[in-house]
Structure 1
Amino acid sequence: MNSTEPQRSARVRWIWIASAAVATVAAILVVMWLIPEPASAEREADCAVVEGAARQWQAAAESLTPTQGATLPSDPQSIVEQYTEMAMLVHTAADSVSTPEIEQHLTDWADAADRLAMSERVDASSPEPPETIEEMLEIARPIDEAAGALGELCPNMPSAQQ
């Protein structure tokens, strides 16, 4: 038997052991990276703000959605005012949180709500109102995207879609 063969098989064994150890450590690091970190007290407080804003948004949106047999207010200005108040509500929420990611999503939501309010204006200085459902959905899409992202960050948030 060759004396280098036992050395080589020992070396191969150590390479396999080292490779297995590295793979195990890598797997553990990946799992730790994928597991969400526990929410800090700051983030929990910010999520409470998000949840409150979402509930208020829902209530306001429901008031703008006619129930069966009901009609929307005949005064378009009141609809614009409600959308403007909804946008201000979300801007206020964005200004009161300290988690940058939550603040950014709330700001995106509020900016989209501003565009929504502007789309409802019926005066000569405002841009053309959306004429199709697709145009309206394009205006509302950032609201849905921001609400979805906030729902992932704050799992107790109610649906904020209008």
Structure 2
Amino acid sequence: MAFITPSSIEISMNLDDLKDYYRARPKPSEERLLLNAIHKRSRWVEFLNTILKDGSATPALKEAFHLKWIESGHFIREKVNNDEILTKLLVTLLPKYEGEAVTIYRGKNEDRFNSGSIGFCWTQDRELLRCLVADSTHVNPGGCSYRRTRQLRPL
């Protein structure tokens, strides 16, 4: 039986071999750097109060927040630790929904539902809902899962 060892494999590779697959990442914008600092220091509430007071939520800041929310929404929610304040932050910075009415679903563990911790991530996909429900009962066991349907209307 022959064994392959690192010394028995000749690898000839350089960065030019990867140039078709490598996409240069742009430097983060000033808005993104600001949001990263706010997140690192858990200053979301102060940030919200500032932008509500002085109206400094520029389109670039809103765009940067939208991406930050997609990437780190769960962690932002943990740091804010107040769904009413988080709702104000989301309404202030996320783009308004302007499409047709849709049915959305949310799967949650019964304990979380009973504690009022419904969450902000919803789906239109019933198959994904089944996965979310199964996942939520594995993470936080304690009985049934919760599912609810909502009709969204343009604001």
TM-score for both structures, normalised by structure 2:
0.26
TM-score by length of 1: 0.25
- Max radius of gyration: which structure? 1
Larger helix proportion of the pair: 1
